[in-house]
Amino acid sequence: MTRFSKDFLWGGATAANQYEGGAREGGAGLSTADVMTNGSHTVRRQVTWQKPDGTTGSTPLCFGSPERHLPEGAIPVELNDEKYYYPSHLGSDFYHWYKEDIRLCAEEGFNCLRFSVKWSRIFPNGDDETPNQEGIDFYKDVFTECKKYGIEPLVTLEHYENPLALAQRYNGWDSRELVDMYVKYATTCFKEFDGLVKYYLTFNEINLIEAAPYVTAGIIHADPQNIANGAFHQFLASAKTVIAAHKDYPELKIGMMLAYGPTYGLTPDPADQLLAQQWQNKTLVYSDVQMLGRYPNYKLKEYEREGIVIPAQEGDWEIIKEGTCDFLSFSTYGSHTLTVHGEEAEGGAGGNGGAMQMVRNPYLKTNAWGWATDPQCLRITLNTFYDRYHCDLWCVENGIGWNDKFEDGTVHDDYRIDYMRANIQSMRDAVEFDGIPLMGYLYWGCVDMVSNGEGERAKRYGQIYVDLDDLGNGTGKRYLKDSYHWYKKCIQSNGEDLD
Ligand code: BGP
């Protein structure tokens, strides 16, 4: 019996800001990620800056950081000071290794690979008149290489980086001016990659703007009003992009992308259940707008209470309604557990910097970064989405970070195999028993790369090991881990063989 469709998209996911490197090559402009330093799970990443009087420094504007602003008058810049190391400049050096990486992924059996395009490689400042041909040619080479092996690229147009100049000059997505710049960039990609790319995502984890306004939206001075502006402007840009694609490139499928994990109340106390529902609803605001074309009432009420005004102009709501996405894609790594009885519970972390009310779930294991592995999370997630949106779904990120031990040219990562087995099984149950229309499964970080939250390379997700350390020392050579062979077998059997 085949549970997954015969054209199910199996593969892996990457993002330019963590993987691509070549930040100074091929005419690319710097992005907001290129001025983020490395950190670790004990040291926060920082954004480096300069003031008009020449003073320089760095501030932790990243995930989970209570800091919301650069100092008065400071703008984010790259600093030539050896105390700062910027991991995105090298990433995993995909810029030079792409042929090798795509070949290895093809040999693993992938028929899909997710990349992001670095906007500032196409438009170095974001608002340039004409695109950078060298940047376009690089991605054309990458996608052509994929096609050679029958790999369908999935392209995220914005994954945690914006042209740095747009943060410096416009406070990022706070400004409505970015909407048309983005649409120009997106439609340039559609035109240039016509025939090579069929699937696009408009914004990675669009809902995380509230937790990380700089990382997701280039907002360097954040408050509740300009975060709401940023979200609305991204919704509008996404909708205009979808409308443009449907008009001129009807074969394209444009998806939205949400960061999501099921949320549980720790105890049967109804107050815990309400807390969990409210937490989950915060996330679903973003998919409601992008899949249904409207904000849910609870969000409108929250804005009203807080005196926040959605910066909509005449005609915008019609665009948002018309430009809903073709499918919903998401990242799910595990689940979150919340309680009002925090004093009785053990503290937890949860993904991407953690959240205040999160606690450890006594039924789940966590990795060294506190991310809980929940074997049921994909089935629960898929049912939640399908019940609410009745649309095609695609898991485009799922994986586990580990401080792998490299020995004798490989890594024996049975913990990663256990994680994948449980998650793929749970997803298979959703398809087989619940009838969920699922387009594909992409394992996050199939090739080792820089972690987004921490900026370190020691937190590895890959099935392919990359010989680079936290400061970029190493040969860059690729090696196959045990999980590579396991996933290959799984894909060959279309998800039947999970032994
Ligand atoms: C998601 C991001 C990815 C990736 C992943 C793992 O939120 O879309 O870019 O980084 O999380 O997170 P981390 O790298 O912080 O472990």
SS (H, E, C) 87-112: HHHCCCCHHHHHHHHHHHHHHCCCCE
Query: Hey, whose CA ends up nearest to atom 12 of ligand 1?
Result: 452
Q: How far, in Å, CA of 282 to CA of 491, rounded?
A: 35
412 phi, psi to nearest 5 deg: -90, 85
Tokens of 229: 């502006």
Query: Hey, whose CA ends up nearest to atom 16 of ligand 1?
Result: 451
The atom number, within ligand 1, closest to the CA of 369 reads 16
- Render 223-283 in DSSP notation, one character per residue: -HHHHHHHHHHHHHHHHHHHHHHHHH-TT-EEEEEEE---EEESSS-HHHHHHHHHHHHHH
Pocket test for ligand 1, best of 202, 371, 444, 457 (most atoms within 8 A of CB): 444
Tokens of 16: 């330019």
Q: Residue 370: what pLDDT?
A: 77
Q: Where are the beta strands (DSSP E) in 40-161?
A: 47-50, 56-59, 75-76, 112-116, 152-156
- Render 292-309 in DSSP notation, one character per residue: ISS--HHHHHHHHHHT--
The atom number, within ligand 1, closest to the CA of 352 reads 15
The atom number, within ligand 1, closest to the CA of 208 reads 7
Among the listed residues 30, 194, 198, the one whose alpha carbon sits nearest the alpha carbon of residue 123: 30
- How many angstroms does the Cα of residue 331 sit away from the middle of ligand 1? 9
- The answer to whether the CB of 416 falls within 8 A of the CB of 443 is no
H or E element that contains 393: strand 393-397
- Of 158, 161, 397, 454, which residue is the catalytic one? 397
Among the listed residues 214, 212, 114, the one whose alpha carbon sits nearest the alpha carbon of residue 162: 214
Contacts of 56 (CB under 8 A, 6+ apart): 48, 49, 50, 77, 79, 81
Is residue 205 annotated as a catalytic residue, yes or no? yes
Q: How far, in Å, CA of 335 to CA of 402, rounded?
A: 18
**Residues with a CB atom less than 6 Å from ligand 1:** 15, 18, 160, 204-205, 259, 331, 352, 397, 401, 444, 451-454, 459
153 Rama sector, left if φ>0, alpha if ψ -120 to 50, beta otherwise: beta
- Of 205, 210, 407, 456, which residue is the catalytic one? 205
- How many angstroms does the Cα of residue 458 sit away from the middle of ligand 1? 14
Q: How far, in Å, CA of 146 to CA of 199, rounded?
A: 14
Contacts of 216 (CB under 8 A, 6+ apart): 160, 203, 204, 205, 206, 208, 209
- How many angstroms does the Cα of residue 70 sit away from the middle of ligand 1? 23
301 Rama sector, left if φ>0, alpha if ψ -120 to 50, beta otherwise: alpha
The atom number, within ligand 1, closest to the CA of 259 reads 7
Report mean pLDDT in 10-residue bins for the chain, 499 residues.
88 98 98 96 92 96 87 96 96 98 98 98 98 98 98 98 98 98 98 98 97 96 96 99 98 98 94 94 97 98 98 98 98 93 64 55 86 91 98 98 96 96 97 96 98 95 98 98 98 97
Tokens 């609870």, residue located: 298
Pocket test for ligand 1, best of 17, 88, 452 (most atoms within 8 A of CB): 452
Q: Residue 209: what pLDDT?
A: 96
Query: Hey, whose CA ends up nearest to atom 9 of ligand 1?
Result: 452
Query: Hey, whose CA ends up nearest to atom 4 of ligand 1?
Result: 452
Q: Crossing angle, helix 414-432 and helix 377-389, to 10 degrees? A: 30
Q: Residue 357: what pLDDT?
A: 66
Tokens of 291: 């899949």
The atom number, within ligand 1, closest to the CA of 371 reads 16
Is residue 67 annotated as a catalytic residue, yes or no? no
Q: Residue 352: what pLDDT?
A: 36
Q: Crossing angle, helix 177-192 and helix 224-248, to 10 degrees? A: 30
- How many angstroms does the Cα of residue 349 sit away from the middle of ligand 1? 15
Q: Residue 2: what pLDDT?
A: 60
Question: Which residues sit opposite 460 in a β-bridge?
Answer: 402
353 phi, psi to nearest 5 deg: 90, -15
- How many angstroms does the Cα of residue 451 sit away from the middle of ligand 1? 6
Task: Return the SS3 of 178.
Answer: helix
- How many angstroms does the Cα of residue 41 sit away from the middle of ligand 1? 13
